[in-house]
């Protein structure tokens, strides 16, 4: 299973060359594609922050459209939950004091619990997690 970190989700959301290449690689992989509830939270918080700071009613149209598209993406895809296994992994990693942010530790806990391959640009932080498989498919 390929598990998309927030940065890889963002690339798919854009019409950039990197996003197009990523989408082709994902399709060609033949693997199941998922993301985590943590990445979903980060993405939705970002969309809501854009909406909350926008004062132009006409520009809000695009912001709400992007919010709807992201909700539909999550509803149609596989979003891995925060469960007892990921909570145990998180607690174990937190106790190691790896110097990684809480959200990334939560993502690592879910990925370790699920046994997937994390697709992320943040190989520096995730590389500190022993046993976590991670690759960057954007560069």
Output the pTM of the full model.
0.92
Cα 124 to Cα 7, 53, 120, 128, 135, distances in angstroms: 14, 32, 10, 7, 11
Over the stretch 20-78, which tens digit does the pLDDT of each residue have?
999 999 999 999 999 999 999 999 999 999 999 999 999 999 999 999 999 999 999 99
CATH number for 2-37+78-135 (one of 3.90.1150.10, 1.10.3680.10, 3.30.1390.20, 3.40.50.1010): it is: 3.40.50.1010
15 pLDDT exceeds 90? Answer: no
Residue 14 has what pLDDT? 75
70-122 residue pLDDT tens: 999 999 999 999 999 999 999 999 999 999 999 999 999 999 999 999 999 99
Domain layout of the chain by residue ranges: 2-37+78-135
pLDDT band at 13 (very low <50, low <70, confident <90, very high): confident
């Amino acid at each position: 299973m390929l598990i998309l970190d927030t940065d890889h989700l963002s690339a798919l959301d854009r019409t950039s060359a990197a996003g197009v290449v990523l989408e082709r690689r994902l399709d060609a992989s033949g693997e199941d594609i998922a993301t985590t509830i943590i990445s979903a939270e980060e993405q939705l918080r970002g969309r809501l922050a854009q909406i909350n700071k926008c004062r132009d009613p006409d520009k809000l149209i695009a912001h709400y459209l992007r919010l709807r598209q992201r909700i539909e993406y999550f509803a149609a895809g596989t979003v891995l939950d925060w469960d007892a296994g990921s909570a145990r992994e998180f607690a174990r990693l937190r106790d190691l004091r790896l110097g990684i942010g809480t959200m990334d530790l939560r993502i690592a806990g879910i990925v370790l619990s699920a046994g997937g391959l994390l697709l992320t640009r943040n190989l520096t932080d995730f590389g500190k997690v022993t046993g976590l498989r991670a690759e960057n498919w954007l560069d």
